[in-house]
Structures are given as structure tokens and as C-alpha cells.
Amino acid sequence: MTVTHIPPLPVRDTSAGRALSPMLTRLAEERATGVLVREHGTLYLAEGRVVHAESPCSPGLDVLLTAHGTLATAAWQQAAAHCTGPSQAAELLLDSGKLPSGALELCHLDALYDAGFFTLAPSSAPGRFRYDNGPRLGPLPSVPVVALERETLRRRLLLHRLWPDPATDSAPLIRADPVTAAPVTPRQRAVLDRVDGIRSATGIARDLGRQAFHTLVDVRRLAAAGHLVAAHPTVPAPAPAHPPPVTDPDIALLKRLRDALEAL
């Protein structure tokens, strides 16, 4: 489906200067250990540091490891069957020598910052923290809370500078007819080829096995170039009311003449 591209007016980013999570800041100062559940994701803390993050908007560590051949899907499934979470499964694969430590650390940090970005998004509900002795600082790298918040703010600002309308971040996407044939990179072409009016940016990221934030960057650049727009649901028009029958012969004649002229 193609539509004529009409760029929306820029909107001001009002969230970049606000504190992301006062609760998270307090937990970091307490050196707390446990699980912080927010509207768009979950952060796992150990001694006040973020050791793992999950969000339904972001592909997990398993997707990033298996999508491009770093790890066989069967190997991950076998490890996950004996563990209670993705971090434990990754550590098991590391200890067994099935996964290089460098590749695991890189994918782990990619997944953590990616899911953390969505988890710290503005929400309409307060977060909930459960103190727990489960998460510990293990062999995988952890991240200070201040570093995660700083990176999240940097990413928000980058997206706003690329294209200030956030509608393309979460809505289904449709192709558009750009005013000029702006070229696209191979990476952007892979995203554009999956725009079908059904998938959102995060769905495309999961399909490609890429970080969701990086896909948002590609989507906003494509939106700025006029290649795609957010699909807004259409509200069906109400059924027209049936007019009362016309009884005046002069009015009836005029209506027949009008209908005949409109049919020409």
C-alpha cells in the first residue's frame, strides 16, 4: 500500500530533561538487589547496578545471539531448559565453552541497553520493586544506573533530532510515496522491505534479529525521507440516514434533474 507523504508538524520533546526514575536512583543509592517492574519492561538490580533488562518492545538476548549465527538455536534452547532466566542460560553456555566470552558480553550489553531504553520510557503507572536475593554480580558485565539513564537520554535526543514525530515508533507502518527518490542504505532497505501495514518498528527489529532502538533510528530516518508513515486506524463513517420520502411533485422533479446532471 502506498500513500502520498505529508510530513506532520514537528512536536517538541518534553521528556528529555526530566528525571527518568527517582525510584531507580534511590535503589542505586541503597545498593539494592531485586527486580524493578515498570510499565514497559523490567530491570534486574544487584548491589545497585543493572545486571539484566527485559522489555516486550525489545528482542531478547536469545534473539540477538541466534539471529546471525553467533549461537545455534538448539544450543540456546537446551541451555534455557535447565535455567530460570536468559542470564543464567548465557552463563551456562559461557562456562561450557559453546559461546565466546566477547560475543556474549557484547550481546548482553546490547540487549541490556536496548531493553533498558524502553523500560525507562515515560509510563502512566508507578514502578514496583521487589527486593530479592536472586540476582548477583556474575561474570556478565553490569551497568551503573547513571550510565543506563544517561544513554537512554542520549538515545531519546537522537531520535528526536532525526524525526520529531514519535508515532512511527509503535504504530504499524505503511509505505509512502516520497516527494523525491531519496536513496536508502542496504540496512534501511531491509527494514523498508518488511513494512507491510501490520508490523511495527519493534516487530521488524525482532524479525531481523536487531536491536529495537537501532531499528527505530532506521525507521525515523526513513520517515524523514518520506519513505514510510505510521498507519493510523480509520474510523468507519456512520451509515447515512435514509431521507424521508419526497411527496411534493415539484421537489421530486428537481431531485430527478439533479441526479441526471450528476450522472453526466
Considering the domain architecture, whether residues 149 and 167 belong to the same structural domain is answered as: no
- Based on the number of CB atoms within 10 Å of its own CB, is 54 exposed (0-12), middle (13-18) or buried (19 or more)? buried
Which amino acid belongs to residue 77? Q
Q: Quick one: pLDDT band at residue 239, thresholds 50, 70, 90?
A: very low
Considering the domain architecture, whether residues 111 and 193 belong to the same structural domain is answered as: no
Task: Tell whether 243 is covered by a domain.
Answer: no
Over residues 163-221, the pLDDT tens digits come to 999 999 999 999 998 777 678 999 999 999 999 999 999 999 999 999 999 999 999 99
Considering the domain architecture, whether residues 39 and 147 belong to the same structural domain is answered as: yes
Average pLDDT of span 55-78: 91
Average pLDDT of span 5-24: 60
Domain, as residue range, for 109: 22-160
The phi-psi region of residue 159 (left if phi > 0; otherwise alpha if psi is between -120 and 50; otherwise beta) is alpha
Considering the domain architecture, whether residues 33 and 127 belong to the same structural domain is answered as: yes
Q: Quick one: pLDDT band at residue 135, thresholds 50, 70, 90?
A: low
- C-alpha to C-alpha distance for 177 and 1, rounded to whole angstroms: 10
Per the prediction, the chain carries an average pLDDT of 84
Kindly report the backbone phi and psi dihedral angles of residue 215, in degrees, each rounded to the nearest multiple of 5, phi listed first: -70, -35
Task: Tell whether 181 is covered by a domain.
Answer: yes
Considering the domain architecture, whether residues 146 and 27 belong to the same structural domain is answered as: yes
pLDDT of amino acid 13: 47
Q: Quick one: pLDDT band at residue 19, thresholds 50, 70, 90?
A: low
Considering the domain architecture, whether residues 69 and 173 belong to the same structural domain is answered as: no
pLDDT of amino acid 237: 46
20 has pLDDT over 80 = yes
Considering the domain architecture, whether residues 84 and 201 belong to the same structural domain is answered as: no
Considering the domain architecture, whether residues 117 and 188 belong to the same structural domain is answered as: no
Over residues 87-123, the pLDDT tens digits come to 788 888 888 888 888 988 999 999 999 999 999 999 8
Task: Tell whether 75 is covered by a domain.
Answer: yes
Q: How many domains does the chain have?
A: 2
Considering the domain architecture, whether residues 169 and 220 belong to the same structural domain is answered as: yes
Average pLDDT of span 22-47: 95
235 has pLDDT over 70 = no
Domain boundary among 134, 160, 186: 160
Considering the domain architecture, whether residues 144 and 175 belong to the same structural domain is answered as: no
Supply the DSSP symbol for 179.
S
Domain boundary among 160, 181, 199: 160
77 has pLDDT over 60 = yes
Considering the domain architecture, whether residues 32 and 145 belong to the same structural domain is answered as: yes
Considering the domain architecture, whether residues 134 and 216 belong to the same structural domain is answered as: no
Interhelix angle 201-208/212-224, rounded to 10 degrees, is: 120
Domain boundary among 101, 128, 160: 160
pLDDT of amino acid 250: 55
